[in-house]
Structures are given as C-alpha cells and as structure tokens.
Amino acid sequence: MTTVLTPASPLTAADRCDRCGAQAYLRVVLASGGELLFCAHHGRKFEPELKKIAVEIQDESGRLTTVANSTPDDER
C-alpha cells in the first residue's frame, strides 16, 4: 500500500493554538500521524523541541507582517 501525502490546507482564523487558544500560524505534523497547532509566539518558543519530533512544520507566521492589497495606502 502506498501512502500519498497531500499538501496541508492553509490555516484559517478557526485554527487555534493548542497552548493558548490564539489564532494558529504553525501546524506541526507528527510522525505518529497527529498534528499540533501553535500561534507564532508558542511556535517560536517550542521550535527547538518541535523540530525533533516533527515530520513537517507548516509555518504561516509570515502572514503577520504582510499588508493586504485591499489596505488603503494611508493605513500602510
């Protein structure tokens, strides 16, 4: 049997940090098949340990510093 990995879907506002409940920007896929979600703060805090147990880390924290195209110039 062949296992096909599908790309993870983008994180949304409904995805919450498993540590504090804030919006999640990191998804950590574990070798056991489970996943953990973290806000950017806790993702950075636990990064060294997470790298040891993760099969994949989906990091969308860059979205925190991007400016939406719909944002008026005077608000940028």
Q: pLDDT for 3-57, tens place per residue?
A: 444 567 999 999 999 999 999 999 999 989 899 999 999 999 999 999 999 999 9
What's the pTM value of the predicted model, to 2 decimals? 0.75
**Statement: residue 71 has pLDDT above 90:** no
DSSP assigned state of 23: B
CA-to-CA distance for 62 and 9, rounded, in angstroms? 16
Tokens for 73, please give them. 């110039």
pLDDT value at residue 4: 40
